[in-house]
Amino acid sequence: MIRDEDQEALAAEYVLGALDADERKEAETLIADDAEFAAMVRYWEGRLGALNAMVDPVDPPPDIWEKIRERVGGLPPSADVRLPEVDRLARETPPSNVIALSRRLSTWRNVAAVASALAAVLALFVTASLVKPDLLPEKLRPVVRTVEVPSKEPPLVAVLQKDASGPAFLLTVDTARRILTMRRVAAPQEPGKSYELWLVSDKFPAPRSLGVVTNAEFTQRALPASYDPETVNNATYAISLEPEGGSPTGVATGPVLFTGKLVEATPPANP
């Protein structure tokens, strides 16, 4: 049922007794002639009567009541509030509106209790995930992300050359990440041949191969895990010219063309 807002307000004010004489007469005419408006009045009688039944009456102090009488003594009487009958029924047998309101109040109380419980569980989950993630089920544990922190160890560089005329290769060793990088500088390409990098240390009876240097400008590979930092830092590095693909015997078979030792490329970080 579509209700006109003006008629809705008129019906509610009629039930409250807030209309003047002309407006009250208009409302009573509509009640007699318009079934829809009469239904609005009954609706507001039930709605406002239910609310009125939920409030206990309070008598004003006698002195205040006398002052009210003096002020309204010269005014025409207003219409009676159309709630006494509804109020009486509500006190004897609570109407369906009162029951509905009570049920809604109970429902909202239950919702508030559930929301409080959820908030407590969420707070407990957040605390556990930060302090004791192992207490949570595996699927609920926070994902641990590993952030790589730049090493304070400066990179080491070796200039591999035959004489003072110029470098053939530059060798850079990242001791923290254990990665070595070869950069071809002036070494010429040798058809049918390969350059091979060797680590020479007094800790080993013979040089150890670190792999073939590719024909690209840069060659990068990991340092063997068995080489400790002291060995890597103090070793001499050499490049020999081997058959294509590297030495077939595991030891240098061709001439050793370039050698060099590692030095720090940048100043050490301040403590």
209 and 161 in one domain?
yes
Q: Is the pLDDT of residue 100 over 90?
A: no
* Class of residue 27 by CB neighbours under 10 A (exposed 0-12, middle 13-18, buried 19+): buried
228 and 164 in one domain?
yes
260 and 165 in one domain?
yes
Nearest Cα residue to 154 out of 230, 271, 268, 231: 268
Residue 215: CATH number of its domain: 2.60.40
Q: In what helix (H) or strand (E) does residue 32 lie, and over which residues does it extend?
A: helix 21-33
Is position 171 within any domain?
yes
pTM over 0.75: no
Is position 270 within any domain?
no
Pairing of strands 193-200, 208-213: antiparallel
Q: pLDDT digits over 2-60, tens only?
A: 457 788 888 888 887 778 888 889 889 999 998 898 998 888 887 776 666 655 666 76
176 and 249 in one domain?
yes
240 and 169 in one domain?
yes
Q: pLDDT digits over 108-146, tens only?
A: 555 566 566 666 666 666 665 665 566 666 666 666 565
- What's the structural domain count of the chain? 3
Is position 48 within any domain?
yes
DSSP 138: G
Instruction: From 79, 94, 109, give the residue that closes a domain.
Output: 94
223 and 136 in one domain?
no
CA distances from 122 to 113, 126, 136 (A): 14, 6, 13
Task: Domain of residue 194: give its range.
Answer: 156-264
Q: Is the pLDDT of residue 147 over 70?
A: no
Is position 260 within any domain?
yes
SS (H, E, C) 173-206: EECCCCEEEEEECCCCCCCCEEEEEEEECCCCCC
Is position 148 within any domain?
no
In the chain, DSSP finds a helix count (H) and a strand count (E) of 7, 9
Is position 215 within any domain?
yes
